[in-house]
Amino acid sequence: MSFTKKVVTTYSKSLFQNVKKLQETSTETGTFDLSFLTSTEAHKYLTTVYVLGEELSLIRSIITSSKKVNEFFQNPTYAESQKLKILSDIYPGFSVSIKSFLRVLAERSHLSLLPEISEEYNRILLTFKKSSQVKIVTASILQEEYGASLLEKLKTLTNSLEVVLNVSYNPKLLGGFILEYNSSAIDASILKEFSLFFNEI
């Protein structure tokens, strides 16, 4: 494991554990009242491991969606305070937890790691929710009844309570599908069968 990967993993795990601990010690267990939105203690109720995941995803999207913004955050010649100010200006309503975390990253000149931290945090979150992310590429639109059946099979296969299914379409497959899960792929497409057939000839 590279040094950067270790740093990213450490940040992600500690952030998750701190917010989870805050969530568990909160006086309100699982209930939410709209009056909390105007409360000075709002961050205790609003900051959950899920909210933090959404906030990190927003940051990741703003950094990775533009080549110029990505280069700005990767460039060490720009001050970390500038980078932090840009994030604060774009997202002024962030939770206290994420604002504190961003300040820590800025002090250590690690704001450029935010996209990787977001990805790692979301992996931790999926494990915590006993959820799996599965990508499927099909030749045609997946019909609803097949999709529901597929989700149930995937829950059993992945031993998950929830499966997040990312579906994309590629008519070049001619039929069948390609399933990707945990760095593994199952290619059950007609295109693959044709390729194997022609290779044997």
- The pLDDT tens digits for 65-102 are 989 999 999 999 999 999 999 999 988 888 888 999 99
**Which residue, chain included where needed, has tokens 């460039």?**
75
pTM as predicted? 0.66
CATH fold, domain 3-126, is Peroxidase; domain 1 (1.10.520)
What is the tens place of the pLDDT at every residue in 102-137?
A: 999 999 999 999 999 999 998 888 888 777 778 888
51's tokens: 């909210």
Q: Are 140 and 162 in contact (CB under 8 A)?
A: no
> Which pair of tokens denotes residue 71?
């280069």
Domain boundaries, the chain: 3-126, 130-200
